[in-house]
Amino acid sequence: MSQQKIWLSSPHMGGTERNFVTEAFDTNWVAPLGPNVNGFENDLQLYQGQDTHVAALSSGTAAIHLALIQCGVEAGDEVICQSFTFCGSINPIKYLGAKPVLVDSESTTWNMCPIHLEEAIKHRIKQGKKPKAIVAVHLYGMPYQVDLINKVASKYDIPVVEDSAEALGSTYKGQKCGTFGRFGILSFNGNKIITTSGGGAMVCHSQEDKKQTVFLATQARDEAAHYEHTTIGYNYRLSNISAGIGRGQMEVLDRHIGLRRKMHEFYIEQFKNIEGVSVFSEPSSDYFSNHWLSAILINPSKTNGITREDLRHAFAKADIESRPLWKPMHLQPIFKDAPYYGSGIAEELFETGLCLPSGSNLTNDDRERIQKVIFELFKSA
Ligand SMILES: *Cc1c(COP(=O)(O)O)cnc(C)c1O
């Protein structure tokens, strides 16, 4: 008897996505513009609140690229980035010929440490170069320490590019993630909390910023009957087909966040009596995570020697996907020469952490299979 693989996070359609896509076909809006693009942007603006202006783009990575350009980042400039993140946060710095400066995490939200951030800024300024932008990330849906990061950023007058790719629907002090930075970034890749099969968005705070984003994302065409160009542009707009999927997904977003948060509660229940395993959770009521991925830390000195790898292998044997946390960028061969400011928090998270199946489409049978693996492995501990 074959059973299906349990994934970390897989697409979960609500049902109406197909209607929007069919409508696009019926009206021949099969292009990187059209009513679904406008409708999806409208849905996102209403959802984000705060008078936001949203531009739908082809990916989250593209959004970060355009945000950095609009922060004035050019070849040779330095940009500060959280080291503990996915490569999509940092690669656009290199696209521009700029230099990443990496900053460690703090242990409560696993995101950018405000103390090391200030240390990095001060040191770079002393070296003669003030960083042009800060890329801060809400990893796994957990908001970073927004007030403290913003305080440092505004003290030195450096714009924040808020990588909210994993945090659509998360809030800090009641305000949506993606609305705190000079620009906010969203992703709708296949494994994210909602998907358009591939896509992203830029959350702006003015109509001018949105207009400039769309301009850059559509090959930077100046106003003329012919094609006239005074700036280098990109082909980064979202297609009207993909945006149709997005409109359907927006209808179920909050329900799916509720289901992801239930998965997080499920893991709290599973590990509550297992010493040496902690489930990543909000540090206070100021933080509301969409719990895009549930994650744990395993301390082998308290689990009778059971490690993160032991659990990962036990899951794999049962055809259940789990994955180590992001490998910090300062440990990646490609970024090994980047300056790094930290004290080992990100390394430790990478050594001891594991992401667990978290999808909003997991069933009771799936949960039973997961539970069984955990129980069998830790019963000796
Ligand atoms: C997914 C992701 C991105 C990039 O988004 P894409 O749409 O896949 O290009 C950037 N940053 C983080 C933290 C992500 O998880």
Residue 213 Cα to ligand 1 middle (Å): 18
196 lines ligand 1 (CB under 6 A): no
What lies within 8 Å, CB to CB, of 233 at 6+ separation is 215, 216, 217, 218, 219, 220, 221
Helix or strand holding residue 62 (H, E): helix 60-70
61 lines ligand 1 (CB under 6 A): yes
User: Is residue 248 domain-shared with residue 261, that is, in the same domain?
Assistant: no
Looking at residue 2, what is its pLDDT?
64
What lies within 8 Å, CB to CB, of 228 at 6+ separation is 221, 222
67 lines ligand 1 (CB under 6 A): no
CB 283 within 8 A of CB 109: yes
User: Is residue 287 domain-shared with residue 248, that is, in the same domain?
Assistant: no
User: Is residue 43 domain-shared with residue 69, that is, in the same domain?
Assistant: yes
User: Is residue 321 domain-shared with residue 242, that is, in the same domain?
Assistant: no
User: Is residue 236 domain-shared with residue 316, that is, in the same domain?
Assistant: no
User: Is residue 98 domain-shared with residue 239, that is, in the same domain?
Assistant: yes
Q: Which residue in the block uniquely carries the two structure tokens 């899951």?
A: 315
Expressed as residue numbers, the domain containing 179 is 17-252
Looking at residue 3, what is its pLDDT?
81
Looking at residue 264, what is its pLDDT?
98
Q: 3-state SS string over 318-376?
A: CCECCEECCCCHHHCHHHCCCCEECCCHHHHHHHHEEEECCCCCCCHHHHHHHHHHHHH
User: Is residue 235 domain-shared with residue 282, that is, in the same domain?
Assistant: no
Residue 157 Cα to ligand 1 middle (Å): 26
11 lines ligand 1 (CB under 6 A): no
| 262 found inside a domain | yes
Index of the ligand 1 atom closest to the CA of residue 187: 7
Domain count, the chain: 2
| 222 found inside a domain | yes
Looking at residue 308, what is its pLDDT?
97
User: Is residue 167 domain-shared with residue 32, that is, in the same domain?
Assistant: yes
Index of the ligand 1 atom closest to the CA of residue 188: 7
Looking at residue 295, what is its pLDDT?
98
User: Is residue 208 domain-shared with residue 283, that is, in the same domain?
Assistant: no
pLDDT tens for the chain, 381 residues long, are 468 999 999 999 998 999 999 999 999 999 889 999 999 999 999 999 989 999 999 999 999 999 999 999 999 999 999 999 999 999 999 999 999 999 999 999 999 999 999 999 999 999 999 999 999 999 999 999 999 999 999 999 999 999 999 999 999 999 999 999 999 999 999 999 999 999 999 999 999 999 999 999 999 999 999 999 999 999 999 999 999 999 999 999 999 999 999 999 999 999 999 999 999 999 999 999 999 999 999 999 999 999 999 999 999 999 999 999 999 999 999 999 999 999 999 999 999 999 999 999 999 999 999 999 999 999 976
156 vs 263: CA distance, rounded Å: 40
User: Is residue 161 domain-shared with residue 303, that is, in the same domain?
Assistant: no
Q: Which of 57, 83, 89 to mutate to test the pocket of ligand 1 (most atoms within 8 A of CB)?
A: 89
Residue 88 Cα to ligand 1 middle (Å): 5
Rounded to 5 degrees, what angle do the CA atoms 88, 357, 2 make?
Answer: 120
Task: Note the pTM of the prediction, 2 decimals.
Answer: 0.96
Looking at residue 337, what is its pLDDT?
95
294 lines ligand 1 (CB under 6 A): no
**Which protein residue has the closest C-alpha to ligand 1 atom 10?**
88
Q: What is the DSSP letter of 5?
A: P
| 223 found inside a domain | yes
121 lines ligand 1 (CB under 6 A): no
Domain finish residue from 232, 252, 272: 252
Looking at residue 50, what is its pLDDT?
87
Strands (E), 190-261: 200-204
User: Is residue 270 domain-shared with residue 191, that is, in the same domain?
Assistant: no
User: Is residue 142 domain-shared with residue 214, that is, in the same domain?
Assistant: yes
**189-223 exposure pattern, b = at least 16 Cβ within 10 A, e = fewer:** bebbbbbbebbbbbbbbeeebbebbbbbbeeeeee
Domain finish residue from 252, 268, 299: 252
85 lines ligand 1 (CB under 6 A): yes
